[in-house]
């Protein structure tokens, strides 16, 4: 969706009134041509807003909340659920934790493996599935006008447009910033994700829970890999026919 260029200019004039456009772009690490193109098109990307906000030492969540499309973002922010926290743990880390527990029936923190950084490769899809009450794709499609197959394509590719991530959170009744963390637009710190939260959420799972979690993650990975293999074979066959 992006935000309107006019609203961006109004926000920018309040956020950095003394900075020239050139200085602002340099501070935010944005090419002047990129910002100019967005302004000419009348739509400025959320990523641009976030980068400018960070450069001006403003909380990006508050910055996005200035715009009509995200007016409820700050008010709708709250701590992530345990399921959201666990969604940001890779299947490799889950398997490592299972092995560590098998070697140390009563493990101390020193016995447990550290968790990798996030967002990870499958963060977006894992987050979406973690908050899905069962009909999230259908309801999100109905509200946004984006076809379910297009939503599936975005999730398979590991991405989700910011406005769709926020709308999905609204429908699911979770923090409106959770999806923006999973997509990488905002950082966990900016959205109040607790330090050590993933570790604490995992510690509440039994060994059986971990086994099923690992199984589900591997099943999802298998489907993605199978689709990639099928697409690659189809592309190869198409090229052979052309050739």
Q: How many domains are there within the chain?
A: 2
Whether 134 maps to a domain, the answer reads yes
Q: Which residues of the chain have pLDDT under 50?
A: none
Bridge partners (DSSP) listed for residue 44: 3
Whether residue 56 sits in one domain with residue 167? no
Whether residue 142 sits in one domain with residue 38? no
pTM (two decimals): 0.87
- In this prediction, residue 237 carries a pLDDT of 67
Whether residue 63 sits in one domain with residue 89? no
- In this prediction, residue 166 carries a pLDDT of 97
Q: What is the CATH number of the domain that holds 58?
A: 1.10.260.40
Whether residue 23 sits in one domain with residue 92? no
Cα 28 to Cα 1, 177, 181, 186, distances in angstroms: 21, 22, 20, 15
Whether residue 182 sits in one domain with residue 91? yes
Using N-to-C axis directions, what is the helix angle for 148-156 and 136-144, rounded to 10°? Answer: 110
Spell 61-89 as b/e; 16+ CB within 10 A means b.
Answer: bebbbbbebbeebbebbeebbbbbbbbbb
- In this prediction, residue 241 carries a pLDDT of 63
Whether residue 28 sits in one domain with residue 115? no
- In this prediction, residue 240 carries a pLDDT of 64
């Amino acid at each position: 969706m992006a935000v309107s260029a006019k609203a961006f200019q109004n926000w920018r004039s309040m956020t950095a009134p003394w900075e020239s456009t050139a200085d602002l772009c340099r501070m935010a690490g944005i090419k002047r041509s990129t910002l100019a193109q967005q302004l000419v098109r009348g739509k400025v990307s959320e990523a641009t807003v976030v980068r400018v906000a960070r450069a001006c030492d403003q909380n990006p969540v508050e910055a996005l909340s200035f715009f009509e499309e995200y007016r409820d973002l700050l008010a709708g922010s709250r701590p992530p659920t345990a399921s959201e926290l666990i969604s940001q743990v890779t299947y490799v880390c889950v398997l490592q934790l299972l092995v560590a527990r098998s070697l140390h029936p009563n493990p101390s923190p020193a016995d447990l493996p550290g968790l990798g950084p996030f967002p990870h490769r499958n963060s977006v899809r894992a987050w979406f599935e973690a908050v899905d009450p069962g009909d999230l794709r259908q309801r999100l499609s109905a509200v946004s006008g984006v076809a379910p197959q297009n939503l599936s394509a975005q999730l398979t590719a590991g991405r989700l447009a910011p406005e769709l991530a926020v709308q999905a959170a609204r429908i699911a009744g979770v923090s409106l910033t959770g999806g923006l963390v999973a997509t990488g637009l905002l950082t966990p710190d900016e959205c109040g994700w607790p330090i050590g939260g993933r570790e604490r959420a995992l510690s509440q799972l039994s060994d059986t829970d971990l086994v099923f979690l690992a199984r589900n993650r591997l099943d999802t990975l298998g489907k993605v890999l199978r689709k990639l293999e099928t697409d690659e074979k189809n592309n190869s066959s198409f090229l052979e026919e052309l050739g």
